[in-house]
Structure formats: C-alpha cells, structure tokens
C-alpha cells in the first residue's frame, strides 16, 4: 500500500484546484490562533499547498516551519511562501527541523496514517512543543474507515475515545472539539505544563 503523500502527489493539481479556493476551516484556524502568543513559532504538518491554512498563520505574523510528503505540493508551497522553511518528508520519519515550537497544526493529516503511526505522531508532536504548547488537529469524533475523495486513499478514524487516550498519553489536555462548515472535526489541545 502506498502512503497518502504519494496519492496526494499524483493528484496534486486537482487537490490544489479545489483547496486553493476553499475557505473550509479558515475561521476555526483564525479563532484558534488568537490565543497564541504574538509572533509564536509553529510547525505545520501536511501543509499541502499552504492555502488557506498556512496563509492565515503567516499573515497573522506567526513564524512557521512546514512539512509535506508530496514533492509537487511542497514545490507549490515554496513558490507561495519562499520565506517559510519547508521540507518534503513523511511525517513518520521527520526530524521537525530539530527545534522546539509554541504550537503545531495538522489539518487533514492524522487519519491518513495507520493507527500506530497516528499515536506515534501525536507523541512526536508533544515532544517538540514547549510546555503549555498548543496543537490543532483534525480527525473525526466517530471511529471508522472511508476513502479520501481526492485520492481514494483509505482513511482511518480512531474515534474520540481512542484519540482521547492517545492525547492523554502524550501529555495533552483536550480543550475542546469544533466542527467546521464542511463537517470536519477539530481537536484543540494544549500540552500540560
């Protein structure tokens, strides 16, 4: 089985065509980012082409570092945000630029991974956040499997109960869950200091 990043790379044009003009999730990201310290440093996992999420954070004055596993999407991202460091890598094998962050954000990524990789990624994110660091992740409340509309990749939601256990084990407190206009669920987390 190939990874979702390869599937996104093959379908990068159709993904960008729809995502670039979509504002789904924008208001949640904007509101969530208001609690972050001015000029905070953050890492974005599965950044895609950067519209609309990275653009919102960049325009708000946050310092961003980013990663995505699709070479074509990373190339689009680089041309749009030449000042933001971005690497093309699988998040499972990534070194997070070997630095610490005030926040992390991963929209549309977690459920693309298998169950053990999802748990490991949450732990890796916790390990690169400063005490009290913030994290915003999307994944459904319900558990289940479905095929990603753009790529056909099989997605896996572990569901609220299992996600809660994974977040607890990584040292996160779940502050709230929020639904966007497209029906996507956001887990708003904060590392217990």
List contacts with ligand SAM (CB under 6 A). Answer: 3-5, 8, 19, 46-48, 53, 68-70, 73, 90-92, 107-109, 112-113
User: Closest CB to ligand SAM among 90 and 162?
Assistant: 90
Sequence-separated contacts (24+) of 152-158 with Cβ below 8 Å = 152/7, 153/4, 153/7, 153/8, 153/112, 154/1, 155/4, 155/111, 155/112, 156/111, 156/113, 156/114, 156/115, 156/118, 157/111, 158/111, 158/115, 158/118
Closest approach of ligand SAM to the CB of residue 101, in Å: 16
Closest approach of ligand SAM to the CB of residue 169, in Å: 21
User: Closest CB to ligand SAM among 127 and 192?
Assistant: 127
Closest approach of ligand SAM to the CB of residue 180, in Å: 11
Closest approach of ligand SAM to the CB of residue 112, in Å: 4
């Amino acid at each position: 089985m190939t990874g979702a990043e390869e599937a996104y790379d093959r379908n990068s044009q159709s993904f960008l065509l729809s995502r670039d003009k979509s504002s789904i999730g924008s208001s949640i990201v904007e509101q969530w980012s208001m609690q972050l310290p001015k000029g905070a440093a953050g890492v974005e996992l599965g950044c895609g082409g950067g519209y609309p999420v990275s653009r919102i954070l960049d325009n708000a004055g946050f310092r961003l570092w980013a990663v995505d596993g699709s070479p074509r999407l990373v190339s689009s991202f680089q041309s749009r945000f030449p000042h933001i460091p971005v690497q093309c890598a699988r998040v499972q094998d990534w070194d997070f630029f070997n630095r610490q962050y005030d926040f992390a954000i991963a929209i549309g990524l977690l459920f693309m991974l298998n169950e053990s990789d999802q748990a490991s990624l949450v732990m890796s994110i916790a390990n690169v956040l400063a005490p009290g660091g913030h994290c915003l992740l999307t994944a459904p409340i319900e558990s289940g499997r479905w095929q990603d509309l753009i790529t056909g990749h099989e997605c896996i939601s572990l569901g609220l109960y299992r996600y809660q256990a994974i977040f607890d084990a990584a040292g996160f407190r779940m502050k709230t869950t929020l639904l966007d206009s497209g029906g996507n669920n956001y887990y708003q987390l904060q590392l217990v200091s």
